[in-house]
């Protein structure tokens, strides 16, 4: 099996090979009946696994995204995608060979983080990825969704307007871009995605209603994208499903939630993507009107340069920790002294006794602040060398708010 880089000339073969691995046909649209997500695949970052007879039997690619780190800096990352191996050639090491080549290519470009959404949770840990952000489905019963009298919620001085997604792509692109720069864990959506209508609603051509929020000066600062399901003839209600609420602050989120919850002929509103510990349920008079569904892992993170990654993110508590990090897939091992003062970290190699010993995939899990180190210590994934180590690590890795990513790729 040979691994080779793809070019734009390979697009048709790439799409066909990738689809056959997933058991799909290239004409298949996304679940929401929307866009051909693969149209935005960057084939100058693609790989083929080629069988001995010269036919491509495996694919992998990477998008060039930016990821917003805790503290607010956005850094270039590889968004690994379109990974598949034909059913005829599975379990012969094609994926392993592509992952090895891809990580080396990513490093060569100077990117120190790689991220992905995993189709199955058992595939990527062996390659150094760990689940790092989570997302929840929140279902709110509309007739029980009165808002409580809130002591300190900011008054909304803006306005809302109802639009169709086809008519406001440029506004959505701009608002999303402002939002993702301020949200740790969020990914950029390159202009090409909007141009090609690639991905899921509201980027895709699937019809969507948009509630657009504008601030007091008329500048758009948030939106909710939604569609209604089929009307139940007996109860005369249907489900309103919100693809995403993109809001520059909590007041805007609340204004958008109030609007969708005020929709008539609706039994319930399903918010598909709400960050962990989101305050919306706490704003309702009846906290049980909102039910949080299972927490899904979303973004998986892989560090390719441990000291650089630790220095580049922002920090919210001072402290010191020695981390002994094992990277079995790349055959690397390092012991680092992480020192944080006034929001900035220094990270240097050390031979001091470690506080924590961990795998690079578990460092990926705690890196953005979405998974607490103590959880992984209790799980037995991270080894704490003394009782205080997990407490210090929890304090140190804590972020201003939970990281959240809702970009699907
Ligand atoms: C970011 C994304 O694009 S997510 C999409 C991933 N793709 C898919 O889900 C499409 C369907 N699946 C596939 O195409 C293939 O089964 C792949 C890509 C998941 C795996 O490709 P393969 O070439 O078979 O993997 P490879 O032979 O390198 O396997 C390496 C190891 O991972 C294990 N492994 C690979 N896939 C799986 C899986 N789905 N479940 C459990 N173990 C797996 C193998 O058993 C092997 O373990 P070992 O080293 O202990 O023997």
The per-residue pLDDT for range 98-140, each reduced to its tens digit, is 999 999 999 999 999 999 999 999 999 999 999 999 999 999 9
Three-state DSSP class for residue 308: helix
If we measure between CA atoms, which residue out of 27, 291, 25, 274 comes closest to residue 139?
A: 291
**Average pLDDT in the 244-267 region?**
96
Q: What is the mean pLDDT of residues 303-323?
A: 98
Which residue's C-alpha comes closest to atom 21 of ligand 1? 95
Do the beta carbons of residue 395 and residue 374 sit within 8 Å? no
Nearest to 116 by CA among 301, 260, 296, 338: 301
Query: Ligand 1, residues 23, 82, 90: which to mutate, most atoms within 8 A of Cβ?
Result: 90
- pLDDT at site 232: 85
pLDDT at 406: 96
User: Cα(151)–Cα(280) distance, rounded to whole angstroms?
Assistant: 15
What the chain holds in terms of domains, given with CATH numbers, is: 2-111 (3.40.630.30), 135-296 (3.40.630.30), 305-397 (3.30.1050.10)
What is the tens place of the pLDDT at every residue in 337-369? 999 999 999 999 999 999 999 999 999 999 999
Quick one: which of 117, 293, 297, 296 has its CA closest to 199?
117
CA distance 178 to 187: 11
Rounded CA-CA distance 224/35 in Å is 19
Going by C-alpha positions, the residue among 185, 223, 221, 219 that lies closest to residue 201 is 223
Q: Which of 45, 83, 103, 127 to mutate to test the pocket of ligand 1 (most atoms within 8 A of CB)?
A: 83
For residue 273, the model assigns a pLDDT of 96
Give the burial class of 74: count Cβ atoms within 10 A of its Cβ; 0-12 exposed, 13-18 middle, 19 or more buried.
Answer: middle
- Average pLDDT, whole number, for the chain? 95
This model's pTM is above 0.90: yes
Q: Is position 157 annotated in a ligand binding site? A: no
Interhelix angle 389-397/360-367, rounded to 10 degrees, is: 50
Cβ of 3 less than 6 Å from ligand 1: no
Q: Is the pLDDT of residue 29 over 70?
A: no
Alpha-carbon span 28 to 21, nearest angstrom: 14
Using alpha carbons, select from 145, 120, 110 the residue that is nearest to residue 266: 145
Spatial distance between the Cα atoms of 163 and 210, rounded to a whole number of angstroms: 5
Rounded to an integer, what distance in angstroms lies between the CA atom of residue 368 and that of residue 331? 24
Nearest C-alpha to atom 32 of ligand 1 is from which residue? Answer: 123
Collapse the DSSP code of 257 into the 3-class scheme (helix H, G, I; strand E, B; otherwise coil) and give the result: helix
Check if the beta carbon of residue 265 is closer than 8 Å to that of residue 239: no
Task: Give the integer Cα–Cα distance in Å for 214 and 160.
Answer: 6
Residue 173 assigned to a binding site? no
The answer to whether residues 289 and 355 touch, using CB atoms and an 8 Å cutoff, is: no
**33: pLDDT strictly greater than 80:** no
d(CA 42, CA 265): 43
Q: 3-state DSSP call for residue 371?
A: coil
User: Is 124 an annotated catalytic residue?
Assistant: yes
Active-site residue 409, yes or no? Answer: yes
pLDDT at residue 25 is higher than 70? yes
Q: Give the percent of the chain with pLDDT over 70.
A: 98
78 lines ligand 1 (CB under 6 A): no
Q: How far is the CA of 123 from the centre of ligand 1 (A)?
A: 6
Up-side HSE of residue 142: CA atoms within 13 Å toward CB?
Answer: 20
Q: Nearest 5°: CA angle at 282, between 217 and 139?
A: 90
Distance CA 409, CA 395 (A): 32
d(CA 252, CA 256): 6
Backbone φ, ψ for residue 293 (5° rounding): -80, -175
């Amino acid at each position: 099996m040979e691994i080779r880089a793809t070019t734009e000339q390979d697009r048709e073969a790439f799409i066909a090979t990738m689809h056959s691995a997933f058991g799909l046909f290239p004409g298949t649209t996304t679940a929401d009946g929307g866009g051909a997500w693969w149209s935005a695949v960057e084939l100058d970052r693609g790989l083929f696994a080629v069988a001995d007879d010269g036919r491509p039997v495996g694919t992998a690619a990477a998008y060039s995204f930016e990821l917003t780190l805790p503290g607010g800096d956005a850094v270039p990352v590889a968004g690994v995608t379109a990974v598949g191996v034909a059913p005829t050639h599975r379990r012969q090491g094609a994926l392993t060979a592509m992952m090895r080549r891809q990580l080396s290519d990513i490093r060569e470009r100077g990117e120190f983080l790689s991220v992905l959404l995993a189709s199955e949770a058992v595939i990527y840990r062996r390659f150094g990825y760990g689940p790092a952000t989570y997302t929840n489905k929140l279902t709110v019963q509309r007739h029980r969704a009165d808002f409580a009298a809130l002591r300190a919620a900011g008054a909304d001085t803006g306005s809302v307007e109802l639009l169709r997604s086809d008519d406001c792509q440029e506004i959505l692109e701009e608002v999303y871009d402002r939002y993702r720069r301020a949200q740790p864990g969020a990914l950029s959506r390159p202009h090409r995605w909007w141009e090609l209508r690639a991905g899921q609603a509201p980027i895709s051509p699937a019809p969507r209603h948009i509630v657009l929020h504008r601030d007091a000066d008329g500048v758009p600062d948030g939106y909710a994208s939604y569609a209604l399901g089929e009307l139940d003839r007996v109860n005369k209600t249907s489900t309103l499903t919100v693809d995403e609420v993109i809001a520059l602050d909590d007041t805007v989120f609340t204004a958008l939630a109030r609007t969708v919850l005020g929709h008539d002929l609706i039994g319930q509103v399903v918010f598909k993507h709400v960050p962990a510990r989101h305050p919306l349920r706490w704003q309702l008079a009846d906290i049980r009107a909102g039910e949080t569904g299972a927490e899904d892992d979303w973004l998986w993170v892989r560090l390719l340069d441990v000291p650089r990654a630790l220095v580049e993110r922002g920090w919210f508590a001072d402290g010191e920790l020695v981390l002994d990090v094992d990277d079995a897939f790349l055959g690397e091992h390092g012991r680092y002294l992480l020192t944080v003062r006034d929001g900035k970290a220094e990270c240097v190699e050390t031979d001091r006794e470690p506080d924590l010993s961990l795998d690079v995939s578990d460092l990926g899990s705690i890196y953005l602040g979405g998974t607490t180190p103590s959880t992984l210590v209790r799980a037995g994934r991270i080894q704490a060398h003394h009782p205080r180590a997990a407490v210090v690590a929890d304090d140190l890795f804590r972020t201003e708010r939970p990281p959240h990513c809702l970009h699907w790729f």
